[in-house]
Amino acid sequence: MRATIMHAPGDVRVEDRDKPTIQKPTDAVIKLAAACVCGSDLWPYRGADKISRPVPMGHEYVGVVEEVGADVKNVTPGQFVVGSFIASDNTCEICRSGYQSGCVHRQGVSGSQAEYLRVPLADGTLVATPGIPDADKVPSLLAASDVLGTGWFAAKAAQVGPGKTVAVVGDGAVGLLGVLAARQMGAERIIAMSRHTDRQALAREFGATDIVVERGDAGVKKIKELTGGLGAHSVLEAVGTQESMLQAIHATRAGGHVGFVGVSHDVSLPGRDLFSSHVHLHGGPAPVRQYLPDLIDLILRGDINPGKVFDLELPLEQAAEAYKAMDERRAIKVLLRP
């Protein structure tokens, strides 16, 4: 099969690889209907994460079950499924508390920018749609697999709800879908922080009521001005840098909530800032599995259209161009067709 491999920063190639097979009785193999490039894939692409050997890329996926291991009972070949980027048993105490991404048996899923993918712990990880979805729903279902689920978790972690003022730090796909999530959860006011007009437009379409173009301390000052000097009730952080984390913490009012989902890079939070800010801080890898059934319903009912974050679509063979377009910010998120 054809698969996307990263050999070094900036060096992404589509190559022939063995088609994955069932390795454990709890595995499934799925034929991918669509794949995509994640903002977090840009960390190694830009050299911020080390690559010691060629890495099969991709952790977002939707597709049709091709084969299942002997112990798999919840999904069967022929079903269309959506899964999370972290495989989980969905039965342990941590999963049952809603933190499937912290499952005691968790495993990362990787290699989905390809034709086929092996998914471990298939019973706990995959959620089947009712029937094969229409083609126009596939991008949104793919978004549910990570960026939507992650933006949703950021909003949940930030305790978004009716009557609240929400600020979103980061205008990548996750940040934009954090805006969509905040809207769905009834936020009164949603401030998107973005300096890119195309992303500002999508943020508004997803429900942003205000746009702040300033960043860092100037961005914090602006949020304070918009909130009577107090700061937002809920701030979603979807970048993962020191600047974005401090921006999020400082833009939150005393007693407010920060939901952070940007994969942390060189972040070191001063205890005094946390102590004096009085914010609630919660985040990490999103427990997407928890939200999948509800997100799939919202998508199939047509209530939300998160697939709009895909502003470029390419054949799998052009994966290198997909990375380039996202790295150069020519595209928000690229969908790949195997």
Per CB under 8 A, residues contacting a copy of itself are: 93-94, 97-99, 101-102, 104, 228-230, 240, 242, 245, 253-255, 260, 263-272, 274-285
Closest to a copy of itself by CB, 94 or 320: 94
Compare residues 76 and 97 and give the one whose CB is closer to a copy of itself.
97
Identity of the amino acid at 200: Q
Query: Which of 131, 271 has the CB closer to a copy of itself?
Result: 271
How far is residue 282's CA from residue 124's CA, in Å, rounded to a whole number? 24
Min separation Cβ 56 and a copy of itself, Å: 22
Report the nearest approach of a copy of itself to the CB of residue 113 (Å): 24
Q: How far is the CB of 252 from a copy of itself (least distance, A)?
A: 11
Burial 307-335 (b: 16+ CB within 10 A, else e): bbbbbbebebebbbbbbbbbbeeebbbbb
Secondary structure letter of residue 132 according to DSSP = P
| Closer residue to a copy of itself, CB minimum distance, 77 or 102 | 102
Question: C-beta of 286: minimal distance to a copy of itself in Å?
Answer: 10
Q: In the bound complex, what is the minimum distance in angstroms from residue 52's beta carbon to a copy of itself?
A: 18
CB of 233 to a copy of itself, least distance (A): 9
Q: Are strands 55-56 and 116-119 parallel, antiparallel or unpaired?
A: unpaired
List, as own/partner pairs, every contact residues 239-243 make where C-beta atoms lie below 8 angstroms and the sequence separation is at least 24, other chains included.
Answer: 239/169, 239/170, 239/172, 239/175, 240/264, 240/265, 240/267, 241/265, 241/266, 241/267, 242/266, 242/267, 242/268, 243/215, 243/216
Question: Smaller CB distance to a copy of itself: residue 21 or 97?
Answer: 97
C-alpha span between 12 and 32 (Å, rounded): 19
How many CA atoms lie less than 13 Å away from 155 in the CB half-sphere? 30
- Using the minimum distance from each CB to a copy of itself, give the nearer residue, 63 or 262: 262
- Give the nearest distance from C-beta 239 to a copy of itself in angstroms: 11
Nearest 5°: the CA angle 303, 125, 89 is 135
CA distance 110 to 61: 10
Q: Give which of 246, 86, 248 is closest to 158, Cα–Cα.
A: 248
- Of the pair 288, 332, the CB lying nearest a copy of itself is at 288
